[in-house]
Structure formats: C-alpha cells, structure tokens
C-alpha cells in the first residue's frame, strides 16, 4: 500500500510552523491602505499596468497569513515612498470567485508571494524574508539590476553577505556571449540568488585572483566555500548552481538567511534523509562526523541529507508521528513519499541502515494516532491503524471525511456530518467516519487528497466514490441514499 504525503513546499511550511510559536496580530485600517486588494474583477487590469508588482495569495483562516499581514503592511508603507514606488498587493485565494484565475499561479500553500514583472508576463517566486525590514531590503534588490558591478572593496562589503550564497561573473570585459548569458541567468534566477560581475578577480574574497578567462564563481557559507565553472551555457550554469548551492548536509536552521537552503532541501525531488539528535548528546561529534562522511559517500546517488537539533525540530517529530524520546532518530522519505524510521539509533547503525534501504530491505513506517478506546460518537473516528478494518475492508457503506483540525471548512462541516450520522443511526449498514489527515498516513492508491476536507464514499461492495457536491445535510444524505448498497446476508444477521 502506497501512502500519500503533503507537498514539499507545504512540508517545509508545516515544519517551520510547528517548530515555532505563532503570534497573530492584525494591522490597523490605516496601515491596510498601503496594500492593494485584488480580486477576479480587477486583478488583470491592475497587474497589466505595473512593470513590477508583488502579490500575496492568502487564506483568511491561515495563521501564517495572519502573522505576515502586519509585516506586509509595514513593508508596503515603506516601499510606497521608494522611487519608483514598489506596489504590494494581496488576493484572497480561498474565495470561490477568485479560484479560477488563481489556479494558473499553482498555489500550493498559504501565504504564497509572487513577483510579477512586465505586466504579469514574467512570474517569479518571492523567496525573501517574512518580516518588514527584510521584505523591504529584498524587494529593493529585486527592482534594481539583476547583477551589480563590483568595482571596489566597498562594493564587496555592501554586496557580498558571507552567510548567503553569492554568484559572481568574472570577465576580461563586459561583452561577448559569456557575459550576455550570465546576464540572462542573473535575470532568470534573481529571486533565488544575489549576483555580481567584475573585471577584477582580486576583489573577490575567495578563489583564484589570476583569472584570464570568463569564470562563474559561486561563494557559499558551507562545505568548500567557493566553486568555479568555465561553462557559460545558460542551462549548464543553472545546473552548476543547483548542484553547488546544495549543502552536503542541510541544517534544520530557521534563521532567515538559511531559509533558501531549507527550501532547496524540501523542494528536491530526491529522497530525503533526516537525522534528529540532541546536540548535547555525549557522542554528538561522532554522530556529526560520520553523518557528513556518509552524506559524501551518497552524493549524486539520489539521497539528500539533513541534520537537526531535537530542541528545534518539534514540527518534524509531529509531522512524521515520531516521539522525541526516540532520538537520535533517522527518518527517510523516498521519492514516492513513503517514510522509513530508525529510532534510538547508535553511531554504528547509520551506515548499515542506509545500506538496507538501498537494497530494499526496510519496512515502511506508517504514522497513526492510537486507535481510540471508546468510539461511540455519531461520527466514528478512523486512524491509519484502523483504516483497513473500518473502511477499506468494511462490508458496510462508509462515508469518510479526511480533515485537518486547523481547517476552517472542516470546522464548518463538522456539525453537519454529526447531523448526517444521527440521521443514519437506525441503519447499522451505514457508517459516517472521519480521519485526521495531518496525523495519519493515507493510502495514495485509494485516496487523492488535494485539500481539506475531502469526502469519500465506499459502498458495501467496495466501490469508491469521491463526494464533490454541496456540503449541506440534505445533499450529503441524498448522495448516500443514491450510492448505498445492501450488505451481505451474513453481515445483516450480525447487525
């Protein structure tokens, strides 16, 4: 059985959200006037008038969006006096009337911020900070040149942040195919990295200073600190940057300057290995040394490695359904989203456990809440451990809701499902049930969960149907009556 997983982008959001406290505040009416409100009626018209506009796609119920709101407003206020003014806008992506035009932006989580250039023809991800000062600094760079010329040591000081990746094009002269391709690359990747170009390699703080041919140099705050390439084909440069900017071992560090590395890790299509350990462990040096060595051995072989301190990784534990007392723990998520877990790992067990994974010898780890001792409410509680018995192999007619506790639509639906369940109380062949999709793994070969709540009906004969109708008591009951099937005689005798 194959189990579904949340998208990588949302996975990162979940980890960060659960690993930090969320302070929700609201902006005053006076502050809100700086952010334009867009919707289906004015979006295209307003965007088409701007060469550069920043749009936040949000949902009213989203805690992250509520946390971002006052910072976004402050940034909008500060940037309104920039020359030229930098416009910030927002769209309620959850509103039904906006969903049709929002779909083309492929929003996978809230809030998502996009930079729209040239009247909306060029769309880039915003990958900067989420606090006002950081937003302002990041966006001012985005409206400036894609790459800045480095002429003096003062330019180096102002442009190169030694805690971040910086990409430098070193040229004998600012002309020719190599230089032109570098500028194309800088424009294409400007929302991801900072770029500079120079004719004086002696100014660059790391690497050879006697360069005579065009050179692409990537400065980074980890591993070998800098890497050079002489290849100036745009596609080849992108591949070089992608590989060189990925740490051998990513740190689960939530500081703003490290956000790009975490994003790259979780957005990677390759399998992910996570090692969570108490940094005060008496063998921490041995763990870290061996883990880095192993990551080096698997480099280029489809595994990306991350290490995190237990104290900073509560969200990771909660998402995967692992307990903190199981640390040091290895968690591996493969390319299909299937998880494998090695709890209370010893230094000597890391290498053989990964070898067993590559040889297909490990059994998947299934996240599940405990089976409830009492399950006597009208809507029955299903968990991963009871899903097969209560739904997949059930001989009854089962309506299953897959929900999230934080979801506003789920909260609104809850009392309606209670009423539906009560209406079928005298029919033991019908079960109304719910499963928390955030706390239990869900088989992706049966359920295609793209949002919450998701409703599925399994008839007594095993026929699965998703419910996409109106979420009223009457419509749901009518749907069940149209799809209900008689149970077997043996089961009817038991009932």
Q: Which helix (H) or strand (E) holds 38?
A: strand 36-38
What count of Cα atoms within 13 Å lies in the side-chain half-sphere of residue 45?
Answer: 7
Q: Are 216 and 182 in contact (CB under 8 A)?
A: yes
**Dist CA 28 CA 30 (whole Å):** 5
Instruction: Please give the structure tokens belonging to residue 178.
Output: 């190599």
Residue pointed to by tokens 């462990």: 281
Bridge partners, residue 358, by sequence: none
**Dist CA 285 CA 291 (whole Å):** 10
**Dist CA 422 CA 444 (whole Å):** 30
Residue pointed to by tokens 């600190």: 225
**Dist CA 346 CA 206 (whole Å):** 38
Please confirm, yes or no, whether 407 is among the known catalytic residues: yes
Q: Which of 143, 159, 407, 416 is catalytic?
A: 407
Q: Which of 62, 218, 273, 417 is catalytic?
A: 62
Q: Are 266 and 274 in contact (CB under 8 A)?
A: no
Q: Residue 328 CA to chain centroid, in angstroms? A: 24
At 90, phi and psi to the nearest 5?
Answer: -145, 150
Instruction: Please give the structure tokens belonging to residue 393.
Output: 């192999």
Determine whether 252 is exposed, middle or buried from the number of CB atoms within 10 Å of its CB (0-12, 13-18, 19+): buried
Q: Which of 65, 76, 383, 430 is catalytic?
A: 65
* Residues whose CB falls within 8 Å of the CB of residue 385, separated by 6 or more in sequence, listed in order: 366, 368, 369, 370, 371
**Dist CA 5 CA 228 (whole Å):** 37
Enter the DSSP assignment of 225: S
Q: Which of 93, 139, 218, 410 is catalytic?
A: 410
Please confirm, yes or no, whether 13 is among the known catalytic residues: no
Q: Residue 167 CA to chain centroid, in angstroms? A: 25
Instruction: Please give the structure tokens belonging to residue 95.
Output: 């509103």
**Dist CA 89 CA 25 (whole Å):** 19
**Dist CA 293 CA 243 (whole Å):** 18
What count of Cα atoms within 13 Å lies in the side-chain half-sphere of residue 285?
Answer: 1
* Residues whose CB falls within 8 Å of the CB of residue 150, separated by 6 or more in sequence, listed in order: 156, 159, 168, 196, 197, 198, 200, 203, 204
Counting every residue written for the chain, the total comes to 495
Q: Are 317 and 287 in contact (CB under 8 A)?
A: no
**Dist CA 251 CA 60 (whole Å):** 32
Q: Residue 106 CA to chain centroid, in angstroms? A: 13
Instruction: Please give the positions annotated as active site.
Output: 62, 65, 407, 410
């Amino acid at each position: 059985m194959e189990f579904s997983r949340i998208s990588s982008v949302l996975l990162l959001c979940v980890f960060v959200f659960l690993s930090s406290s969320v302070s929700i505040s609201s902006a005053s009416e006076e502050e809100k006037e700086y952010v334009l409100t867009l919707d289906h009626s004015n979006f295209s018209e307003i965007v088409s008038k701007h060469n550069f506009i920043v749009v936040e796609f949000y949902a009213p119920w989203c805690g992250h969006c509520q946390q971002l709101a006052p910072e976004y407003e402050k940034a909008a206020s500060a940037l309104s006096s920039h020359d030229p003014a930098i416009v910030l806008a927002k769209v309620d992506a959850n509103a039904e009337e906006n969903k049709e035009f929002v779909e083309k932006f492929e929003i996978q989580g809230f809030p998502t911020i996009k930079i729209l250039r040239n009247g909306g023809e060029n769309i880039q991800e915003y990958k900067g900070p989420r606090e006002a000062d950081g937003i302002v600094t990041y966006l001012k760079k985005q409206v400036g040149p894609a790459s800045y010329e480095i002429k003096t040591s003062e330019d180096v000081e102002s442009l190169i942040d030694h805690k971040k990746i910086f990409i430098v094009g070193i040229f004998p002269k600012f002309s020719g195919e190599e230089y032109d391709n570098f500028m194309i690359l800088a424009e294409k990747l400007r929302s991801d990295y900072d770029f500079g170009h120079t004719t004086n390699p002696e100014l660059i703080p790391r690497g050879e200073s006697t360069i005579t041919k065009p050179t692409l140099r990537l400065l980074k705050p980890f591993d070998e600190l800098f890497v050079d390439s002489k290849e100036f084909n745009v596609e080849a440069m992108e591949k070089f940057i992608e590989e060189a900017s990925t740490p051998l071992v990513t740190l689960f560090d939530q500081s703003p300057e490290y956000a790009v590395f975490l994003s790259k890790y979780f957005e990677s299509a390759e399998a992910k290995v996570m090692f969570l350990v108490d940094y005060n462990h008496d063998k921490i040096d041995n763990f870290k040394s061996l883990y880095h060595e192993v990551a080096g051995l698997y480099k280029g072989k489809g595994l990306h490695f991350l290490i995190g301190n237990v104290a900073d990784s509560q969200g990771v534990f909660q998402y995967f359904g692992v307990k903190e007392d199981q640390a040091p723990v290895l968690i591996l998520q493969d390319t299909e989203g299937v998880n494998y877990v090695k709890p209370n790992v010893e230094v000597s067990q890391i290498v053989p456990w990964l070898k067993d994974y590559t040889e297909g010898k490990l059994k998947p780890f299934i996240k599940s809440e405990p089976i409830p001792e009492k399950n006597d409410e009208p809507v029955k509680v299903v968990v991963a451990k009871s899903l097969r018995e209560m739904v997949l192999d059930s001989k009854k007619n089962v309506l299953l809701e897959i929900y999230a506790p934080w979801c506003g639509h789920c909260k609104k639906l809850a009392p309606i499902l209670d009423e539906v369940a009560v209406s079928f109380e005298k029919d033991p062949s019908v079960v109304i049930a719910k499963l928390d999709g955030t706390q239990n793994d869900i088989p992706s070969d049966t359920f295609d969960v793209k949002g919450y709540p998701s409703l599925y009906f399994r008839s007594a004969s095993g026929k699965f149907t998703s419910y996409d109708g109106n979420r009223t008591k009457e419509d749901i009951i009518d749907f069940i009556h149209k799809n209900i099937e008689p149970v077997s005689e043996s089961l009817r005798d038991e009932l």
